[in-house]
Homo-oligomer: A and B are copies of this chain.
Amino acid sequence: MNTTKYSRQRETIKEYLANTKDHPSADMVYAHLRKTIPNISLGTVYRNLNLLVSQGEAVKLSFGNGPDRFDGNITPHYHFVCTECGYIDDLEISEDDVARINDIASENFDGKILGHYAYFYGKCGSCK
């Protein structure tokens, strides 16, 4: 078996993810947690982030370059990356929007589209 036991490290990671909109990388989580748990190791951060993702308690975001980012907001939404300042913002979407985009792609395809991964880019409110 593999029952999950409590760990302060994991709880602190969850708490941090729940309270930030920074979409932090593992390194950023590590830097933050060292303030309260000085001898936490980066491996522990990665291990727990991946565990949370596999349990559906967090989401992993990949943006082509740079390290993966993590999001504690598991409600369906897209992300926006400002090409000017790098800020990652949340984009509200409805289930309908997701379906509409899948439909657009399905038009000329003979397989079965189950979902998509997407992010948007441009200039954020303060940079434009």
Mark A residues whose CB is within 8 Å of B. Answer: 60, 62-65, 68, 78, 80, 82-83, 89, 91-93, 97, 100-102, 104-105, 107-125, 127-128
Docked pose: A113 CA to B83 CA in angstroms: 10
- Are A123 and B114 CB-contacts (below 8 A) given A80-B109, A91-B105, A104-B101? yes
Q: Is B112 touching A128 in the complex (CB atoms < 8 A)?
A: yes
Each complex incorporates copies of this chain amounting to 2
A92 to B68, CA, bound (A): 28
Within the complex, the shortest CB–CB distance from A109 to chain B, in Å, comes to 6
Contact B111 A122 (CB under 8 A): yes
Chain B residues, CB < 8 A from A104:
93, 97, 100-101
